């Protein structure tokens, strides 16, 4: 096993309790979700052995942390938008990392918004499993390639996702990634984006007023005023985009 691959796996070894042997190489301890998901991602045959300090764990994965607020913080884990992107795909039904990666590839439906490489997908699945937001439900076998660990969203994961999907972003620069991702996920699940759009308009309208006041107070020869003008123009453009998205679609005869 090459040093690069071992180093990559080593960086995600957080939870004691499992030792993985790949050939003659002894790797650090992993949590059970990490072992299976990363072995699948890198095509590594892995066998868990009993740790001398902890008993062997069997059965389904038990969530150890639960979703708390709607600000992207779940228990001890603060989730980034990329984690919610993966969680949103899992929420559509039991799936595995390979299928999720196809959606975020260059030609995938969600790849039009965000392109996520396969190692990132598996990394986030492992983190979501450790946070108790997804859980294993089986293994898909029989197709080409290695067996694939199938996961589903937990009630805590669905609660965290539903809250995040309705949470506006704070800056215009986040429209291109986080907000478009939320709109895409809401579209895929057939949900009304109206509440998100309304909340987002309110946030940006307040920001426009604050930026206008800041521009008026800034000295004319200060470069800070130039930056404020750029932020103001960007936020106004974002409001125009929200108005266009929320406007009813009028189709003419023959279209």
Examine residue 43 and state whether it is found in any structural domain, yes or no: yes
Residue 91: which of 146, 165, 148 has the closest Cα?
165
Distance CA 101, CA 208 (A): 37
Does residue 76 belong to any structural domain of this protein?
no
The tokens describing 189, both together, are 């699940």
Would you call 76 helix, strand, or coil by DSSP? Answer: coil
Which tokens belong to 184?
Answer: 């895409």
What whole-number distance in Å separates Cα of residue 83 and Cα of residue 105?
16
**Residue 128: per-residue pLDDT:** 95
The first and second tokens of residue 108, run together, are 């995938």
Task: Give me the residues of the chain with pLDDT under 50, please.
Answer: 1-31, 44-76
Q: To the nearest 10°, the Cα dihedral for 121, 126, 127, 128?
A: 80
Q: Is residue 111 part of a domain?
A: no
**Domain housing 234:** 191-246
Q: Which of residues 15, 34, 50 is at a domain's end?
A: 50
The residue count for the chain: 255
pTM flag (> 0.75):
no
Determine the Cα angle at 190 with ends 249 and 170, to 5°.
80
The DSSP call for residue 220 is T
Report if residue 201 sits inside a domain: yes
Q: Given 27, 50, 73, which residue is the final one in a domain?
A: 50
10-34 burial string, b = 16+ CB within 10 Å, else e? eebbeeebbbbebeeeebebbbbbb
Inside any domain, residue 235 = yes
- For residue 246, the model assigns a pLDDT of 82
pLDDT of 137 reads 86
Q: Is residue 31 part of a domain?
A: yes
The CA R_g of the chain, rounded to the nearest whole Å, is 22
- Identify whether 24 is part of a domain: yes
All residues at 6 or more sequence positions from 158 whose CB lies less than 8 Å from its CB, including other chains:
91
Residue 39 pLDDT? 54
The label of the residue with tokens 């029989």 reads 142
Is the separation of the CB atoms in 168 and 207 below 8 Å? Answer: no
Task: Report the 10 Å Cβ neighbour count for 246.
Answer: 14
pLDDT value of position 119: 93
Overall domain count for the chain: 2
42 inside domain: yes
The β-bridge relationship of strands 77-78 and 73-74 is antiparallel
């Amino acid at each position: 096993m090459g040093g690069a691959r071992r180093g990559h796996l080593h960086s995600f070894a957080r939870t004691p309790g499992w030792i993985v042997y790949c050939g003659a190489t002894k790797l650090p301890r992993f949590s059970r979700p990490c072992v299976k998901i990363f072995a699948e991602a890198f095509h590594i045959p892995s066998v868990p052995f009993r740790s001398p300090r902890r008993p062997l764990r069997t059965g389904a994965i038990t969530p150890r942390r639960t979703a708390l607020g709607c600000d992207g913080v779940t228990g001890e884990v603060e989730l980034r938008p990329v984690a919610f992107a993966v969680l949103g795909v899992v929420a559509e039904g039991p799936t595995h990392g390979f299928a999720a990666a196809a959606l975020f590839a260059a030609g995938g439906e969600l790849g039009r918004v965000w392109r996520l490489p396969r190692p990132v997908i598996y990394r986030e699945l492992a983190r979501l499993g450790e946070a108790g937001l997804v859980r294993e439900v089986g293994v898909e076998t029989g197709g080409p390639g290695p067996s694939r660990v199938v996961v589903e969203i937990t009630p805590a994961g669905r609660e965290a996702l539903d809250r995040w999907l309705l949470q506006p972003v704070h800056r215009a620069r986040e429209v291109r990634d986080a907000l478009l991702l939320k709109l895409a996920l809401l579209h895929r699940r057939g949900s009304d984006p109206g509440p998100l759009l309304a909340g987002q308009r309110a946030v940006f309208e307040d920001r426009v007023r604050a930026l206008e006041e800041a521009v008026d107070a800034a000295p004319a020869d200060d470069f800070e005023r130039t930056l404020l003008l750029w932020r103001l123009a960007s936020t106004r453009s974002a409001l125009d985009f929200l108005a266009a998205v929320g406007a009813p679609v009028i189709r003419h005869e023959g279209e």
